Every structure is written in structure tokens, then in C-alpha cells.
Amino acid sequence: MPRADEIEVTVFGPGYGECIVIHIGSGKWVIVDSCLDDAGEPASISYLTKLGISIEDSVISVSASHWHDDHIKGLAKTVAACRSARLSLGAALTYSEFLAFLQVFEDQPVQKLDRGGTELLNCLKIVNETGRSIKPLSEDTLIFDFQPNALAHRRQVELRALSPSGQQFSDFLTRLKHFPAIIMGRTKGRIVEPSRNDLSVAMILTVGQQGVLLGADLEQVSDPKKSWQAVVDARKGKSPLSHLFKVPHHGSYNAHNDDVWIEMLDQSLQAVVTPWTRGGHRLPRESDLNRLRRLSSKCYLTSTKTIPKKRRYNAQILKQIKSAGVKFDSSIYSSGHVTFRWIPDSSSPSVGLFGGAVAI
């Protein structure tokens, strides 16, 4: 359990999924994204419960970086448990996410949503029922801040969104004009949706003179007004640099931007990456790990141990899979997390590795 004057950043990455839990000081906690632990519970809630934290009172903010399955499993349950927390999410929406808003706030008839839209719908229902509001995020949106005298470590703390960019938001507004016709079933397939990764919300946590950069799944695109290049350009000359980096998109080269490492990160940087696996594809690749080793002073992977995937299915389901002739990946990374803890401006983080997490 961190002391009142300590910052703690814990990154959970069971192999498919990602969640970040932060103690910002004086018993106040923040959650970004959601994944499930080996028991099928939101990793953030299990962790805080184990620490004996009053989740209802102590979690002040819950954010969704984007609505891909690996970042939102258990998010509605998390929003329900964190009754004092404000929910924040990216302001640029996909069609399914837009429908979730319509269904909750305009009482529109239910249309089929994808999994991300469904989880958003469930989160919005809880927010609505509990009289809370959401905070829409785009570049440079302040999610919350605390003045130095408000917290035991006497440092100013703020969490700020860095994306989606203004261009990505105005592209969303342009797409929006087609949505009513799609709802009426008239222009199906006419709009091209951006990837949810491209709309995802990167953030910077500032504590005194130190920063923590949370890269979400934000990928690199060719348009400099979008994604990482827009983030770098907007942050040029701004302090602080970050000494801790949650590497974007599970270490994938698609999310790498040299300027992020040059302009936004401290030389003493510690990096942490969560693995991802689906259908035989895995991130990070060996080449990604080599790049991350080269660029950071220390780098950690939240999980490497594998457990048989068949443990996750009962005998009946396994029989059905076998008889259908479906091949599937026989192993999956087990749950793991990395914890960084430090006193602001006075020490480098101490690191704890749990459940198969390793230094790479």
C-alpha cells in the first residue's frame, strides 16, 4: 500500500487486456481502462479491494482510452463500483459508440451495437442512473487537477488527455452528418470509420516536475495532424518530460514515433509494455522488445508466463470446438502486473514485478 505522500502506478497486462491503476496521493486513486484478472474480475477492483481501499469513495476518475475489447472488459462493473468517479472518454466516436449515446440519452430504439458500443452503452446507463456526467476528451483536455496544498506530497497533480487531435474530432463531425441516414438504413457502408486505435486517448500524468506518459493504443498515421505527430507538435517545449512510459499498442512498431522518445521522454526513462495475443498473432514481437530495450533505461513486460488456454473452457465447450474442427492458440499469457512507486521529485521509482511480469 503506498503512503499518502507516494505516487504509485500499476500496469496490469494479463496477455489480452490492459488496465492502469494510479495512486496520486492522499488516498486518491485513478483507473484508466479495464481488463480481467485470472478470476474473471476487473483487475483494478481486485487490486484495490486487496489493498483494503474503499473503492466507492477513493477512486476519483475512471477513463476509457478507446472501446476495443482488450481495454474495456469489466469497465461497466468498474464504473458501477467507483461511485464517486467521473467517467471520461474520447470525444471522437465511431458509429456504434454514437448509437450508444443516442440509446441512453435520446431513448432511441435499440439497435445492434458492436462489443465496444455495448460496453459503452452499459457504462452510460450506470452514469445516467447514478446522476453523474461524462467528460469528453480530446487534445489538451484537463481530466482533473489538484493544487500542491491538496495532497500530502505538496506537489501539483494533473491528468491531461493528449489525443484524439482536433483534426480527428473534426473528421468525426464530418462523419456525423451520415449517421442519421445510416440509422434509417439508407447509406450503409458509405462512410469509412477510422480505427479505434487512431481515436484512442493518450494521457500525461504530471506530478510536480515529473511526467508519466500513458500511450493507450494510439498508432502512428501518415497525417501529421493526427495521432502521435499531432501529440508531439502540441507538446513541443512543454514540461515536464516523462520518466515513465506505458508504451502504446502493446509495443507494436505501428505505434512507434521517434519524436515521442526524443521530445517527450526523460533520459532515465522506465518503460512498461503489455502483451497482446489473438489468433496466433502476438505483440510485442522480438524486434519490438529489442527496440524498447535500446530506447529505455529499463523496460518491463507485464506478463510472459503461459498457461494452457484450455483451462479457460469447460469440457463441453472443448468438445464442441474439437468437433467443429476449429484450431485455436493453445496457450495465453497469464495475468501479471508491474508496480512503480516513488516520492514525487525526490526518488526514482521502486519497481515490483508480479505474476509473470519481467524486466526485458
Binding part of the chain for Zn ion, among 27-35, 65-73, 139-147, 218-226 by CB under 5 A, reads 65-73
219 binds Zn ion, rule: CB under 5 A: no
Examine residue 288 and tell whether it contacts Zn ion (CB under 5 A): no
Q: Is 8 in the site for Zn ion (CB under 5 A)?
A: no
- Find the shortest distance in angstroms from Cβ 276 to Zn ion: 6
Smaller CB separation from Zn ion, 15 or 344: 15
Listed ranges 47-55, 77-85, 213-221, 256-264: which one lies at the site for Zn ion (CB under 5 A):
213-221
Answer yes or no whether residue 217 interacts with Zn ion by CB under 5 A.
yes
6 binds Zn ion (CB under 5 A): no
When the beta carbons of 119 and 217 are compared against Zn ion, the nearer one is 217
If the CB atoms of residues 251 and 355 are measured against Zn ion, the closer one turns out to be 251
> What is the separation of C-alpha 238 from the centre of its chain, rounded to a whole number of angstroms?
23
Name the one range near Zn ion by CB under 5 A: 66-74, 115-123, 225-233, 258-266: 66-74
What minimum distance in Å lies between the beta carbon of 123 and Zn ion? 18
In the complex, least distance from residue 79 CB atom to Zn ion, rounded to whole angstroms: 19
Q: How far is the CB of 256 from Zn ion (least distance, A)?
A: 15
The smaller minimum CB distance to Zn ion, of residues 14 and 25, is found at: 14
What is the 3-state secondary structure of the chain? CCCCCCEEEEEECCCCCCEEEEEEECCEEEEECECECCCCCEHHHHHHHHCCCCHHHHEEEEEECCCCHHHHCCHHHHHHHCCCCEEEEECCCCHHHHHHHHHHHCCCCCCCCCHHHHHHHHHHHHHHHCCCCEEEECCCCEEEEECHHHCCCCCCEEEEECCCCHHHHHHHHHHHCCHHHHHCCCCCCCCCCCCCHHHCCCEEEEECCEEEEECCCCCCCCCCCCHHHHHHHHHCCCCCCEEEEECHHHHCHHHCCHHHHHHHEEEEEEEEECCEEECCEEECCHHHHHHHHHHCCEEEECCCCEEEHHHHCCHHHHHHHHHCCCCCCCEEECCCEEEEEECCCCCCCEEEEECCCEEC
Applying CB under 5 A, which of residues 70, 119, 171, 288 lies at the interface with Zn ion? 70
CB 317, min distance to Zn ion, A = 25
Closest CB to Zn ion among 6 and 18? Answer: 18
> Distance (Å, rounded) from C-alpha 163 to C-alpha 201?
5
Nearest to Zn ion of 70, 288 (CB atom): 70
Nearer to Zn ion, 43 or 343 (CB): 43
Spatial CA neighbour of 307 closest among 327, 283, 332 = 332
Distance in angstroms (rounded) separating the CA atoms of residues 144 and 85:
11
Q: How far is the CB of 192 from Zn ion (least distance, A)?
A: 21
Residue 200 and residue 163: Cα distance in Å, rounded? 7
Candidates 67-75, 102-110, 287-295, 346-354; binding stretch for Zn ion (CB under 5 A): 67-75
Q: How far is the CB of 357 from Zn ion (least distance, A)?
A: 17
The size of the interface with Zn ion (CB under 5 A), counted in residues, is: 2
Here's the x/- map for Zn ion, 159-198, by CB under 5 A: it reads as ----------------------------------------
Instruction: Give the residues lining the site for Zn ion (CB under 5 A).
Output: 70, 217
